[in-house]
Amino acid sequence: AGGSGGGGGGGWKAKKRARETKLRLKDALWLGTVHQAKGLEWPAVFVVRLNEGEFPLGLGDPARGERVDEADPREEEERRLAYVALSRAQRHLFLSYVEHEDGGAQAQPASRFVGELPRAHVKRH
């Protein structure tokens, strides 16, 4: 019946096997959070809404003077989560961010992590 069992259908090993089987399905699409993606990789990864102040932790919008100081420990955690998100791709990494939301006049900058990517590896569309 449950828990840490060595053969029980509800055990963590059975759940892990079921998850791994689902992830191996050909032509499957997996949607999840950065935390859920830790330790996993895919041929192509899409990271959406990679805007400053929103991704990955929503620590503040510099356009409104809400910039987090780089010495802030939250900056380190945000950088670590961004690394996890951006390093899940085996071959192709697609990043998107909103430039103007709902036709608004105020620009919404991409995350600072986009600006830190090597230019030789970035194609802008």
* pLDDT attached to residue 125: 77
* pLDDT attached to residue 5: 46
Residue with tokens 């060595």: 6
Nearest to 45 by CA among 85, 81, 97: 85
Phi, then psi, of 64 in degrees rounded to 5: -105, 20
* pLDDT attached to residue 11: 75
Residue with tokens 């709902």: 102
Q: Structure tokens of 124?
A: 């802008």
- Each of the 125 residues of the chain gets a pLDDT tens digit; together they read 444 444 444 577 777 776 776 666 667 788 888 989 999 999 999 999 888 888 766 655 555 555 555 567 778 888 899 999 999 999 999 999 888 877 777 788 888 888 888 888 888 87
Cα 79 from Cα 77, distance rounded (Å): 5
The amino acid occupying position 73 is: P
| Cβ neighbour number for residue 90 with a 10 Å cutoff | 11
| pTM: predicted TM-score of the whole model, two decimal places | 0.64
Query: What is the three-state SS of 17-59?
Result: HHHHHHHHCCCCCCCCCHHHHCCCCEEEEEECCCECCCCCCCC
| Domains of the chain (ranges, CATH numbers) | 1-26 (no CATH), 31-121 (3.40.50.300)
DSSP state of 93: E
